A = this chain, B = another copy of it.
C-alpha cells in the first residue's frame, strides 16, 4: 500500500470534462499506473541495459565467463571504462564475479537476462547487419 490514497494535486480541468466522476477516474488511472517504487526498480534494471557497451559485455559473457582483460579486448575500450561498466552491471545484479589470484572472472548472474535482451532485439526490429 505505497500508492493511491488521495489526489495529491488538483486534477486537470480536461479530466473533469471527460469523466462524470473525475475523482473516481483518477483513482482508477493511478491504480493502473502502478506503484512508483516498483517502476523505479524496473527502471534501474533497464538503465543498466541501456548502454551499448554494457550490452556488448553481456553478449561477450553469454558463452562463458571472461576476465576483465578479455572484456577489455572484446570492447576495445580502456580498462577503467570496462571496470566501471562491470561495476554497473554488478550493482544491477546482472553479473557476478569470481576471483582467481589477480584475475577477476565475470559471468551472467541470471541467464534470464538474455531472454530479455533477445525480446528487446525482436521489438527493436533490428535488421541483421550483414
B34 and A43 within 8 A (CB): no
This chain: copies in complex: 2
Q: Which of A32-75 contact B (CB under 8 A)?
A: 32-47, 49-53, 55-57, 59-60, 62-63, 66-67, 69-75
Contacts of A119 in B (CB 8 A): 112, 115-116, 119
How far apart are the CA atoms of A8 and B79 in the complex, in Å? 15
Please indicate which of the listed interface residues A30, A74, A130 has the most CB atoms of chain B within 10 Å of its own CB: A74
Q: Mark A109-122, 1 if CB is under 8 A from B, else 0.
A: 01011011101111
A47 and B50 within 8 A (CB): yes
Judged by a CB distance under 8 angstroms, whether A26 is at the interface is yes
Chain A interface size range:
35 or more
Contacts of A52 in B (CB 8 A): 36, 39-40, 42-43
A50 and B50 within 8 A (CB): yes
A74 and B30 within 8 A (CB): yes
A129 and B2 within 8 A (CB): yes
Additional A-B contacts beyond A15-B69, A18-B69 (10; CB < 8 A): A26-B73, A34-B55, A37-B129, A39-B53, A41-B124, A43-B51, A43-B52, A43-B55, A46-B120, A116-B119
